[in-house]
A and B are shown apart, each in its own frame.
Chain A
Amino acid sequence: MKSRTIKVDYIARVEGDGALYVRIKDGTVADVKFRIWEPPRLFEAFLRGRNYSEAPDITARICGICPIAYQMSSSHAMEAAFGVKVDPQVRALRRLIYLGEWIESHPLHVFLLHAPDFLGYEDAIQMAADHPDIAVRGLQLKKLGNELMAFLGGREIHPINVCVGGFYKVPTKKELLPFVEKLKWARDASLETVRWTATLPFPDFEQDYEFVALRHPDEYAITEGRLVSNKGLDIAISEFEEHSVEEHVPYANALHSRLKERGAYFVGPLARYNLNFDKLPPVAQQVARDVGLGPVCLNPFKSIIVRMVETVFACDEAIRLIERYEMPEKPRADIRPRAGTGHGCTEAPRGILYHRYRLDDQGVIQEAKIVPPTSQNQKSIESDLWQFVPKYIDLPNDKLQWQCEQAIRNYDPCISCATHFLTLHIDRE
Chain B
Amino acid sequence: MMPAIRKPKLAVWKFASCDGCQLSLLDCEDELLAVAGAVEISYFPEATRAVAKGPYELSLVEGSITTPHDVELVQQVRRNSKFLVTIGACATAGGIQALRNFKDVQEFVSVVYASPQYINTLGTSTPIADHVQVDFELRGCPISKQQLLETVSAFLFGRKPNVPPYSVCIECKRRGNVCVMVAHGTPCMGPVTQTGCGAICPAYHRGCYNCFGPKETPNTDSLSKWWAQLGVEEQDIVRGFRTFNAWAEPFRKESVAHEK
The answer to whether A41 and B48 have CB atoms under 8 Å apart is no
CA–CA, A375 and B235, complex, Å:
34
The answer to whether A10 and B45 have CB atoms under 8 Å apart is yes
Instruction: Known contacts A13-B46, A44-B112, A45-B111; decide if A427 and B200 are in contact (CB<8 Å).
Output: no
| Chain B 31-74: CB-based contact to A (< 8 A → 1; otherwise 0) | 01100100001000111111000000000000000111010000
The answer to whether A423 and B100 have CB atoms under 8 Å apart is no
Q: Does B155 contact A (CB under 8 A)?
A: no
The stretch from B205-213, B223-231, B250-258 touching chain A is B205-213
CA–CA, A108 and B161, complex, Å:
29
Q: Does A51 contact B (CB under 8 A)?
A: yes
A38 contacts across to B, CB distance below 8 A: 16
Number of interface residues of B (CB under 8 A): 68
CA–CA, A181 and B139, complex, Å:
35
Q: Does B134 contact A (CB under 8 A)?
A: no
Q: Does A140 contact B (CB under 8 A)?
A: yes
CA–CA, A425 and B33, complex, Å:
42
Q: Does B182 contact A (CB under 8 A)?
A: no
Residues in B85-139 with C-beta less than 8 Å from chain A: 95-97, 99-100, 103, 105, 108-109, 111-125
B32 contacts across to A, CB distance below 8 A: 139
Of the listed residues A51, A139, A425, the one surrounded by the most CB atoms of chain B closer than 10 A to its CB is A425
CA–CA, A11 and B96, complex, Å:
25
The answer to whether A426 and B236 have CB atoms under 8 Å apart is no
Q: Does B181 contact A (CB under 8 A)?
A: no
Q: Does A307 contact B (CB under 8 A)?
A: no
| Chain B 135-166: CB-based contact to A (< 8 A → 1; otherwise 0) | 00000011000000000000000000000000
The answer to whether A17 and B14 have CB atoms under 8 Å apart is yes
CA–CA, A316 and B108, complex, Å:
47
The answer to whether B204 and A154 have CB atoms under 8 Å apart is yes
A180 CB to nearest B CB, Å: 21
The answer to whether A125 and B48 have CB atoms under 8 Å apart is yes
The stretch from A53-61, A94-102, A381-389 touching chain B is A53-61
The answer to whether A123 and B47 have CB atoms under 8 Å apart is yes
Instruction: Known contacts A15-B46, A58-B96, A155-B197; decide if A423 and B15 are in contact (CB<8 Å).
Output: no
Question: DSSP majority for the A interface?
Answer: loop
CA–CA, A330 and B101, complex, Å:
39
Q: Does B170 contact A (CB under 8 A)?
A: no
The stretch from B1-9, B21-29, B75-83 touching chain A is B21-29
B115 contacts across to A, CB distance below 8 A: 248, 250, 423
Q: Does A281 contact B (CB under 8 A)?
A: no
Interface bracket on A: 35 or more
A251 contacts across to B, CB distance below 8 A: 118
CA–CA, A164 and B41, complex, Å:
41
B200 contacts across to A, CB distance below 8 A: 154-155, 160
* Closest A residue, CB atoms, query B37: A125
CA–CA, A63 and B22, complex, Å:
12
The answer to whether A50 and B239 have CB atoms under 8 Å apart is yes
CA–CA, A429 and B101, complex, Å:
13
The answer to whether B36 and A64 have CB atoms under 8 Å apart is no
* Closest A residue, CB atoms, query B105: A426
B103 contacts across to A, CB distance below 8 A: 45-46
* Closest A residue, CB atoms, query B209: A57
The answer to whether B141 and A46 have CB atoms under 8 Å apart is no
Question: A248 is contacted by which of B23, B30, B114 (Cβ under 8 Å)?
Answer: B114
CA–CA, A233 and B203, complex, Å:
45
CA–CA, A160 and B36, complex, Å:
30
Q: Does B194 contact A (CB under 8 A)?
A: no
The answer to whether A157 and B119 have CB atoms under 8 Å apart is no
The answer to whether B112 and A154 have CB atoms under 8 Å apart is no
| Chain A 317-335: CB-based contact to B (< 8 A → 1; otherwise 0) | 0000000000000010000
Q: Does B243 contact A (CB under 8 A)?
A: yes
CA–CA, A165 and B33, complex, Å:
40
Q: Does B19 contact A (CB under 8 A)?
A: yes
B200 CB to nearest A CB, Å: 4
Question: A108 is contacted by which of B24, B26, B119, B203 (Cβ under 8 Å)?
Answer: B26
The answer to whether B49 and A142 have CB atoms under 8 Å apart is no
A72 CB to nearest B CB, Å: 16
The answer to whether B50 and A146 have CB atoms under 8 Å apart is no
Instruction: Known contacts A156-B27, A424-B116; decide if A41 and B16 are in contact (CB<8 Å).
Output: yes
A426 contacts across to B, CB distance below 8 A: 105, 109, 121-123
B245 CB to nearest A CB, Å: 12
* Closest B residue, CB atoms, query A122: B50
Known A46-B100, A61-B96, A429-B122; 20 more pairs at CB < 8 Å: A15-B19, A39-B66, A64-B21, A65-B18, A112-B47, A124-B47, A142-B27, A143-B29, A146-B29, A154-B203, A155-B198, A157-B20, A158-B141, A168-B201, A423-B116, A423-B119, A424-B112, A425-B116, A426-B105, A427-B121
Between A and B, 23 residue pairs with Cβ closer than 8 Å are A13-B47, A41-B96, A41-B97, A43-B96, A45-B100, A45-B103, A45-B111, A46-B99, A123-B41, A157-B142, A158-B141, A158-B211, A160-B204, A160-B206, A168-B201, A250-B117, A251-B118, A252-B118, A423-B114, A424-B108, A424-B119, A426-B109, A427-B121
- Measured CB to CB, the residues of B under 8 A from A are 14-21, 23-24, 26-27, 29-30, 32-33, 36, 41, 45-50, 66-68, 70, 95-97, 99-100, 103, 105, 108-109, 111-125, 141-142, 197-198, 200-201, 203-206, 209, 211, 236, 239, 243-244
